Amino acid sequence: MAAEGGNGKGAAGPSGVRTYPDFSAPTVDKVMVEERAAALGKRSIKKEAKVFGLRLSIAMMDLTTLEGKDSPGKVTQLCQKAMRPHASPEVPPCAAICVYPKLVPVAKRALAGSRVKVASVATAFPSGLSALDVKLEDVRRAVAWGADEIDMVIDRGALLAGEKTRVFDEIAATKEACGPAHLKVILETGELGTYDLVREASQIAMLAGADFIKTSTGKVTPAATPAVTLVMLEAIRDFFYATGKRIGMKPAGGIRTAKQALHYLVLVKETLGDAWLTPDLFRLGASTLLNDVLMQLETQRTGAYQSGDYFSKD
């Protein structure tokens, strides 16, 4: 496939014409994927399995604050909550804290000595509408300041215009700019319009070097849904069968309840198997989810419903 534009990350063929991987993806059966995603949400989960799943979901959470009023004090407090979400030693720490680049050093200091990672949004988040050199400098600066993970946004306008090689090139260039940091590629599925385009965008991102593919920025509605997550999980499954490479998945935005979190874990288990049930390969984007999971854990432990007033709001 010849380039339609972009930044020259494809391989040059013998004729000098730049070539790219095959971006084509299977057509998605809308009825089937929505019915299967809904059916998997109706699974009955017994008490021991439910407690295990709730704890696992906490270990997979990226606690996120991406507001204009974010401050060092707010980020430090969130880091404390990520390291010790609950007084019980049976409740694990969260996977990561996700912040704007400017606050990465604050999070890094607050999390020193813990296993909680620092993630940073970059590449003109949330729109992705900036020059590539500006985006890449944003990434390099975040990594230099200590980010372990970078959450980039693709240029949805380019993808919707059919400029697939441009999207591929920008992801590949961002992956290179990440150096040792892991790259999560945000598709912003709520703006893509169809499951077919979500599937194709997933394929492009994985071929370009994504370590994770992620549904949403949390700034657009709809954000994560079980059906769109299932489409992306199936893309990951097929990519693994074709290449042997395991790609991670992160639904984000709109996940607010323990019941929803368990639904997503069932989707992962049924589509990808137990190997993906680890924070290394599955994350939940969360800003309000943690407290509901903690309340449900306490309910399982005590047999009495716990009020949200017993947990911090940050």
Q: Give me the catalytic one of 81, 135, 175, 214.
A: 214
pLDDT digits (tens, 9 = 90+) for 36-94: 999 999 988 988 999 999 999 999 999 999 999 999 999 999 999 999 999 999 999 99
1 domain residue, yes or no: no
Active site annotation includes 219: no
Active site annotation includes 250: yes
3 domain residue, yes or no: no
Q: How confident is the model at residue 19 (pLDDT cuts 50, 70, 90)?
A: confident
Q: Give me the catalytic one of 151, 169, 211, 292.
A: 151
Instruction: Give the domain range for residue 146.
Output: 30-298
pLDDT digits (tens, 9 = 90+) for 152-210: 999 999 999 999 999 999 999 999 999 999 999 999 999 999 999 999 999 999 999 99
18 domain residue, yes or no: no
Task: Report the CATH number at residue 37.
Answer: 3.20.20.70
Three state DSSP letters for the chain? CCCCCCCCCCEECCCCCEECCCCCCCCCCHHHHHHHHHHHCCCCCCHHHHHHHHHHHHHCEEEECCCCCCCHHHHHHHHHHHHCCCCCCCCCCCCEEEECHHHHHHHHHHCCCCCCEEEEECCCCCCCCCCHHHHHHHHHHHHHCCCCEEEEECCHHHHHCCCHHHHHHHHHHHHHHHCCCEEEEECCHHHCCCHHHHHHHHHHHHHHCCCEEECCCCCCCCCCCHHHHHHHHHHHHHHHHHHCCCCEEECECCCCCHHHHHHHHHHHHHHHCHHHCCCCCECEEECCHHHHHHHHHHHHHHCCCCCHHHCCCC
6 domain residue, yes or no: no
200 domain residue, yes or no: yes
118 domain residue, yes or no: yes
Active site annotation includes 135: no
Q: Give me the catalytic one of 81, 135, 184, 250.
A: 250
137 domain residue, yes or no: yes
Answering whether pTM is above 0.85, one says: yes
Domain count, the chain: 1
293 domain residue, yes or no: yes
